[in-house]
Amino acid sequence: MAQHFSLASCDVVGFDLDHTLCRYNLSESAPLIYNSFAQFLVKEKGYDQELLNVTPEDWDFCCKGLALDLEDGKFIKLADDGTVLRASHGTKMMTPEALAEAFGQKEWKHFVSDSGMAYHSGKYYFYDNYFDLPGALLCAKVVDSLTKQNNGQKTFDFWKDIVAGIQYNYKTSAFKENCGIYFPEIKRNPGRYLHSCPESVKKWLHRLKNAGKVLVLITNSHSDYCRLLSEYILGDDFADLFDIVITNALKPGFFSHLPNQRPFWTLENDEEQEALPSLDKPGWYSQGNAVQLYDLLKKMTGKPEPKVVYFGDSMHSDIFPVHQYRNWETVLILEELRGDETGQSEESEPLEKKGKYEGPKAKPLNTLSKKWGSFFIDSISGQKNTDSSLVYTWSCKRVSTYSTIAIPSLEAITELPLDYKFTRFSSNNLKTGGYYPNPPLVLSNDETLTTK
């Protein structure tokens, strides 16, 4: 494979919406998501009202890449070889001694070393994106509450209530019905929760279109919510930017399922109307599958194998399935590349690498959790923090394995020429080459890091 990647060589540019094109004010959206679940658990399922009380310090628990064991209430952070680096029971971090007793140096019991490891199963759940993270804090506090109430309860069965909360607040009809907490609040005050798209991003999208690229929006958001978000961040004419808009895409299945498993549906007044045997023309659709989309892209580009790149923020829904099932190029939006963890300011970057960040920067909930440490690396439990004890996390390994490149936001690349050559992730660049504009400082300073 070529060492470099360029947008100029792509025929089609696809985008996720939430946390990719649409950036949220996380300090406001995270508590809103948390409350949408907590209120449901307390009012509808009889959970302790203490779940409604969240302190600023509580948010330090939130960290991408954690897995929750749904049976015993433990949260874990994995090394790239599947061993456990850190763990908590509920919000209570486990000591090195307790960690060694519970896990030793063995692979986590649910770990699968090859690419077949799922993000979600009936036994565990990985927290992958900023919609997920408030749920991690809530579930941890639920474990604390149940453990306290039931004198050290060892097994748990609360996940069905979390799923019920998802269904109540986020079902496809919730926006129209104005039900739950989340959608009514976003509708009332979108400016509190959403950042308008910077002018640099809007101009960049127009530049891509003017260069002859086919632009596609593929989002799991339902049609009505997608419309609200897109009109707010891009303007009333946002649909003119995209040749194809696909809502309620049900990713990751959109990329892995066959046409007969997941047909496209026409839409009228944001409601699904008719299942389509094939996708024959550009437009706005619901559900669907990447196989029929690609067939349409062949017709639109006039090429037997058009080259597609897809931008997304979720390894589970976007990057992994696009890479694994479609073999398209993938650009991961990784906000952990912002802020203190990079240790570098925009002013210190080479002029050619500067992105244009207009407006407020959407900070992650935590660029570096005090409880969980770096998203990228960690020390082996029980060993001093030396070069020989530092290892890549499982999450970091996934980034370099399945992403073409990783960037902190779209703004980071909007001022670059379309033929700019990005260095790809590859096995021979110490896992740092694909990060733009710079690798995280914790990685660039630790080039001796190897997999365990």
> What is the Cα–Cα distance from 30 to 51, expressed in whole angstroms?
15
Q: Which residue has the tokens 């619901």?
A: 286
Residue from 16, 128, 243, 313 carrying the catalytic annotation: 16
Nearest CA to 170 out of 218, 233, 225 is that of 225
> What is the Cα–Cα distance from 424 to 406, expressed in whole angstroms?
9
Sequence-distant (≥ 6) Cβ neighbours of residue 328 within 8 angstroms: 14, 307, 308, 309, 310, 322
Residue 124 — φ and ψ, nearest 5°?
A: -155, 165
From the CA atom positions of the chain, what is the Rg in Å?
22
Active site residue 16: yes
Residue from 11, 18, 224, 313 carrying the catalytic annotation: 18
Cβ atoms of 147 and 154 within 8 Å: the answer is: no
Which residues share a beta bridge with 4?
A: 423
Which residues share a beta bridge with 217?
A: 15, 245
Nearest CA to 406 out of 118, 5, 3 is that of 5
Active site residue 236: no
> What is the Cα–Cα distance from 426 to 265, expressed in whole angstroms?
38
Active site residues: 16, 18
